[in-house]
Amino acid sequence: MTPDAFSDFLAADWGSSNLRAWRLSADGAVLDLRRWPWGVARLQPGEAARKLADEIRPALRAQNLPAILCGMVGSALGIAAAPYADCPADGDALGRRLLKIDDRTWIVPGLRCLRPDGYPDVIRGEETKVLGWLALDPARRYGDHVLCLPGTHAKWVLVRDGRIARFNTCMTGELFALLSQHSVLRSGAAPSDGAGFTEGLAYGAADGPLAARLFTVRARQVAQNLDPGRAASFLSGLLVGDETARLPPLLGLKPGATLSLMGDPDLCALYRTALERQGFTIDTADAEAAVVAGLTQLRHAGAIP
């Protein structure tokens, strides 16, 4: 299909917690953008489809435009479960696997792979950002690259010659939320101490069972009257330090290598601090530009008119 056969279209990154939707031109230029706190985990069954038809499309003047959606909207929590595609995968492979919901709506499948330990892993939404990251710079389509996408479930992705080869998920963000709010490690404060975070990074990278090192947060609270803000910061650093010390080797990275970060700027800043302490060179990428580029590429690869 030739480029002039494509029209404007609706694109959405619809996750568990939030939704970003764009009206895009055929070549991916942003014509309009809206954000809603309508993560699919917060919606009732069937509600996502109703919101797409009754609120999202009208807000972006896209009632009759093709729509391509990525993220957890393609899970059992969303509009429909799009079956996972297997790694390795590129944009053409995912474009052939788009799930057609109706004559105007398609959902991007997630990806699955086997980790080095032989156990499976899955992603939904991040694959589109990684494909967009590749599309934004043709030089990235050659050789090996590693991206880290921090978040509730941080994703570490190995890209090899333009294809997503495999990845590892770390539940660091969710662990921090659970431990800091619902365990004996809760301090009643938000992280607020840079020195405490840095101290936690060093301890997180140390040897020994993570579960044992975690209890030091509690022990310091009761034995040393550790300040609540510093305790939360130390816990955050400990978890991030453990992740950033142990994940890069699983993807073949050695100190001195370049690693790309993509995601929330504040989270990326924390991960940059941790990874630079480990000896890595860091660059950052614009996650919003990447997901727009990825959805545009997948729309064309799937020949959605």
pLDDT at res. 2: 54
Q: Phi, psi at residue 54, to the nearest 5°?
A: -95, -20
Residues of the chain with CATH 3.30.420.300: 3-140+287-301
- E strand residue ranges, the chain: 9-14, 19-24, 30-36, 67-70, 85-86, 99-102, 105-107, 111-114, 120-123, 144-149, 154-160, 163-170, 258-262, 281-285
- The radius of gyration computed from the CA coordinates of the chain, to the nearest angstrom, equals 20
Q: What is the mean pLDDT of residues 208-226?
A: 95
- The residue-averaged pLDDT of 21-50 equals 96
User: Which segments of the chain belong to CATH 3.30.420.310?
Assistant: 170-285
pLDDT of residue 5: 63
Looking at residue 289, what is its pLDDT? 97
Burial 238-270 (b: 16+ CB within 10 A, else e): bbbbbbbbebbeebebeeeeebbbbbeeebbeb
What is the arithmetic mean of pLDDT over 246-266? 95
Does residue 301 register a pLDDT over 80? Answer: yes
Rounded to the nearest angstrom, the gap between the alpha carbon of residue 176 and the centroid of all alpha carbons in its chain is 17
Identify the band that residue 3 occupies on the pLDDT scale cut at 50, 70 and 90: low
Q: Convert the pLDDT of each residue in 161-196 to its tens digit.
A: 999 999 999 999 999 999 999 999 998 899 989 999
| CATH homologous superfamily for the domain 3-140+287-301 | 2-keto-3-deoxy-galactonokinase, substrate binding domain (3.30.420.300)
DSSP state for residue 52 in the 8-state scheme: I
Q: Report the chain's mean pLDDT, rounded to a whole number.
A: 95
Cα torsion 269, 271, 274, 279: sign: negative
> Which pLDDT score is estimated for 6?
80
* Residue range 209-214: mean pLDDT, rounded: 96
DSSP H or E stretch at residue 172 = helix 172-182
Q: What is the pLDDT of residue 75?
A: 96
Q: Determine whether domain 170-285 maps to CATH 3.40.1160.10.
A: no
Burial class (CB in 10 A: 0-12, 13-18, 19+), 225: exposed
Average pLDDT over residues 66-70: 98
H or E segment at 183? Answer: none
Is pLDDT of 20 > 90?
yes
Q: What is the pLDDT of residues 87-120, one digit of tens each?
A: 999 999 999 999 999 999 999 999 999 998 999 9
Are the C-beta atoms of residues 116 and 250 closer than 8 Å to each other? Answer: yes
Residue 58 has what pLDDT? 98
What's the pTM value of the predicted model, to 2 decimals?
Answer: 0.94
Q: Which pLDDT belongs to residue 305?
A: 85
Which stretch of DSSP H or E encloses residue 233? helix 228-250
Q: For the segment 146-166, what is each residue's pLDDT rounded down to a tens digit?
A: 999 999 999 999 999 999 999
- CB-CB contact of 72 with 40 (8 Å): yes
pLDDT at 4: 60
